[in-house]
Structure 1
Amino acid sequence: MKTQPIQRTSLSEEVYQRLQQQIITLTLAPGQKLNDQQLAETFGVSRTPVREALKKLEEEGLVVTKRGSRTNVTMLDATQARQTFPIVATLHALAARLAFPLSEADITRLIELNQAFQDAIMHEDAETALQLDDAFHGLFLKRSQNGQLADTLNRLTPLIRRLEYAQFSRHGHDSVTDHRTIIEACQNGRIEDLVRATEHNWNGLGRHLIASLEEDTPCDPS
């Protein structure tokens, strides 16, 4: 059996993951032009996997193709964030509900993750901090054992993660406190408190980030 199509798909996926990470971390800045030939040379691949990756990123709303096949990283969008954060908050709250109750080992792990998260914030290490935040909420997602929930969040999260990078220095400390409230709800066996605290964490973050974006972000150039 020929394996080349599988290899090509895997190559496209690798390019997609690298580009997505660069967009999320603002290595590729909002509005930046993307040239498929230059990207192909950078990654050492043909233009085909790059084009496939860009198409997937466009479907996710992270890049946009304009007239003349010009592709740009999408601008940070307050309207998009305003629509996305409540959905993400509700889904994470559902994951917490489905995961409840957590084991003592899981609660200990949450405490460790939040301490490391706080340390990363103190050192202004945005990439590590947000990876730890993913791990914190990811524990609930894993324990929920709901693949559809995980797939939906994996699709939506990149739309808001780069906004967190852009505004990281302003709001990281609030999430540490929210995480402690989530942990306390788990320790006390209070599922409704856990659900409310989880939803509050994401919605509160969304409100702060959207307000900051509206203050700081210039209009999308045509």
Structure 2
Amino acid sequence: MPPQDRSAGRTEESDGKALSTPPVRQVLSASVYENIKAMVMDHEIAPGARVGIDALSRTLGVSPTPVREALARLEADGLVVKRSLSGYRATELLTRRGLEELFEMRLLLEPRATALAATNATEEQLDAIERIMEEMRTLPGPTGRYADYRDFAALDQRFHDAIAAASHRPLLADAVERLHSHLHVFRLTSAKVAEDPTLAEHERVVRAILRRKSDRAAEAMTEHLTLSLQRQLRHESAS
């Protein structure tokens, strides 16, 4: 009987461990990211407050490494900022002027992206946009704490990003994606109504895209963004 190649067995075993390690680490990293994001969204970490890596590590019971990775992702989201010598801080809430400027940019970019999507979207992309809408219909709107509306907010972002991607203009799609960062904070403070109008506004956009009506699609997106801004400004005035 030929001798067993034990080194091969060890290689397979070690390879197996190597393959199993990244998913475990990815799950931990994602969990830490979501936990810290919830703290920022719910203002448990106050706007403008310092975000301590060591303190978060102790609070979450993890090493500093996944905390650093999470903060890097949150910086890309626009929810924290990193400053030399002082570390990370939670992003300040947008002022009224900042909110208006943010929507001004969205109104310049997204109606155009939506019109192009009505013309250029593939059947697969149209199906994907419809699936996002179907998922959104099953979820509660943006009320309560972040944990209650996290999935709705994520789908809302996917909806806008999917439309921009369907424009088949990569630079335009990238610009649209980068404009969502501060909106999640404002979702927490938006008016809490029994029937949020976001879905109905989205459905008008989707109907126009599916019918390949580029002008109507752009109008529907303009209407949605304008009404969304008005809702935010009403809340800002009332608070």
Shared fold by TM > 0.5?
yes
Q: How much does 1:148 deviate?
A: 2.1
Give the letter aligned to residue 160 of structure 2. Answer: H
2:114 counterpart residue number: 96
Partner SS state of residue 181, structure 1: helix
1:57 counterpart residue number: 75
Does residue 1:26 correspond to 2:42, yes or no? Answer: yes
Q: How does 1:155-194 map to 2 (within 5 A)?
A: 155-167=178-190, 169-170=192-193, 173-194=196-217
> Of the two structures, which has the highest relative contact order with CA contacts closer than 8 Å and spacing of 6 or more?
1
Does residue 1:110 correspond to 2:116, yes or no? Answer: no
When residues 155 and 215 of structure 1 are mapped into structure 2, their CA distance, relative to the original with a 3 A threshold, is same
Deviations 1:95-123 (A, max 9, x none): 21222234555445434432331321269
1:80 counterpart residue number: 98
When residues 19 and 119 of structure 1 are mapped into structure 2, their CA distance, relative to the original with a 3 A threshold, is closer
**1:26–1:166 contact (8 Å) kept in structure 2:** no
Give the letter aligned to residue 115 of structure 1. Answer: E
Give the letter aligned to residue 186 of structure 1. Answer: I
Give the letter aligned to residue 185 of structure 1. Answer: A
More helix by share: 1
For 2:211 and 2:65, locate their aligned partners in 1 and report how far apart those are by CA, in whole Å.
Answer: 55
Paired-residue identity, %: 13
For 1:23 and 1:88, locate their aligned partners in 2 and report how far apart those are by CA, in whole Å.
Answer: 27
Partner SS state of residue 42, structure 2: coil
When residues 199 and 75 of structure 1 are mapped into structure 2, their CA distance, relative to the original with a 3 A threshold, is same
2:234 counterpart residue number: 211
2:154 counterpart residue number: 131
2:164 counterpart residue number: 141
Q: How much does 1:197 deviate?
A: 0.7
For 1:149 and 1:73, locate their aligned partners in 2 and report how far apart those are by CA, in whole Å.
Answer: 28
For 2:101 and 2:72, locate their aligned partners in 1 and report how far apart those are by CA, in whole Å.
Answer: 25
Partner SS state of residue 170, structure 1: coil
Q: How much does 1:60 deviate?
A: 4.2
> TM-score, normalised on structure 2?
0.65
In the alignment, structure 1 segments of 5+ residues that lack a partner are 1-10, 217-222
Deviations 1:8-40 (A, max 9, x none): xxx9xx699658844664365442431133245
Aligned residues: 204
In the alignment, structure 2 segments of 5+ residues that lack a partner are 1-25
Give the letter aligned to residue 137 of structure 1. Answer: H
Q: How much does 1:191 deviate?
A: 0.8
When residues 158 and 53 of structure 1 are mapped into structure 2, their CA distance, relative to the original with a 3 A threshold, is same
Partner SS state of residue 72, structure 1: strand
**1:175–1:201 contact (8 Å) kept in structure 2:** yes
> TM-score, normalised on structure 1?
0.69
Q: How much does 1:62 deviate?
A: 3.8
For 2:37 and 2:205, locate their aligned partners in 1 and report how far apart those are by CA, in whole Å.
Answer: 28
